[in-house]
Amino acid sequence: MQIMRTGESYTSDLCAERFDAIIIGSGISGLCTAAMLAQHGKKVLVLEKHFKVGGFTHTFRRKAYTWDVGIHYIGGVHRKRSISRRLFDRISDSKLQWARMDDTYDRIIFPDQSYDLTAPKSQFIENLSGYFPDDIDAVLQYVELIGKAARSGTGFFAAKAFSGTLEKVTHSFMSRRFLSFSSRSTKQVIRELTANPKLLGVLTGQWGDYGLPPAASSFGVHALIVRHYMDGANYPVGGAGRIAETIVPVIEESGGRVVLSAAVDEIMVRGRKAL
């Protein structure tokens, strides 16, 4: 696999340039914001303290192998009209391509047995019902609850786009439903559905995706992740590094620059301008 050089190293001549916006950090959120600003004609500077661009989407090499730092599968992007696919197409100028993974996107392995999490949702339900025939009702309730919690996130995240008075007026009622799920731990919620410790382990087996064990994680976040994969998962063609490789040129086309080895210690502001 050929690893492309993305971004440029910091030099002091950067201080002589003017930019419409400066973004600190080249993770996916920084790159996404920079690309969308660039597509609206803004000249954007992205500063990254690491020597590679991409945050948790970058890769590294050990001998003959290329390793992902963070990303390993993305749900929904095989559907071209999905929000996530449309966003990736937008910020990469449709250069980022995806390969559909097998329908079994996760396998939860115990010493005595393995449990496949398989798309689509109907197969997910069929598999788990087969593994746990005495807990079919719990499986069905779990899937329904995952859907409700994930859908309730729409209002919560939409409210974050508002500011000022509008934010104060809308935040409470737009966020209430999601917060009722997110304020409880994953373990608390699922324990109300089943007392079967093996089923609890299988249903929470994806906690590595969001980094907190069931007793410490928010059920709202758990639900968003679980539903994200129920229709299947995908991997970037060419590896995770292709995400940054396809977004950076969009930023540069509008005169922007993505600069590496550029740690930021302080933001100096004069009037309404960052210097």
Tens of pLDDT, residues 185-194? 999 999 999 9
For residues 237-250, one letter each, b for 16 or more C-beta atoms within 10 angstroms of the residue's C-beta and e for the rest, the string is ebbbbbbbbbbbbb
Please report, as a single letter, which amino acid is at residue 100.
R
Q: Which residues pair with 65 in a beta bridge?
A: 62
Is 88 within a domain?
no
The residue segments making up the domain with residue 57 are: 8-72+238-274
Is 2 within a domain?
no
- Residue ending a domain, among 214, 231, 248, is 231
Tell me the per-residue pLDDT of 145-199, one tens digit each, with 9 for 90 and over. 999 999 999 999 888 888 888 888 888 889 999 999 999 999 999 999 999 999 9
Which of the 8 DSSP states describes residue 261?
S
| 59 within 8 A of 69, measured Cβ to Cβ | yes
Please report, as a single letter, which amino acid is at residue 104.
T
Q: Kindly state the average pLDDT of the residues 92-98.
A: 97
Tell me: do 134 and 160 sit in the same domain: yes
Q: Tell me the whole-structure pTM to 2 decimals.
A: 0.86
Tell me the per-residue pLDDT of 13-45, one tens digit each, with 9 for 90 and over. 888 899 999 999 999 999 999 999 999 999 999
Say if residue 63's pLDDT is above 60.
yes
Say if residue 2's pLDDT is above 70.
no
Tell me: do 149 and 194 sit in the same domain: yes
Tell me: do 227 and 242 sit in the same domain: no
Number of domains in the chain: 2
Residue partners of 146: CB distance under 8 A and separation at least 6: 223, 226, 227, 230
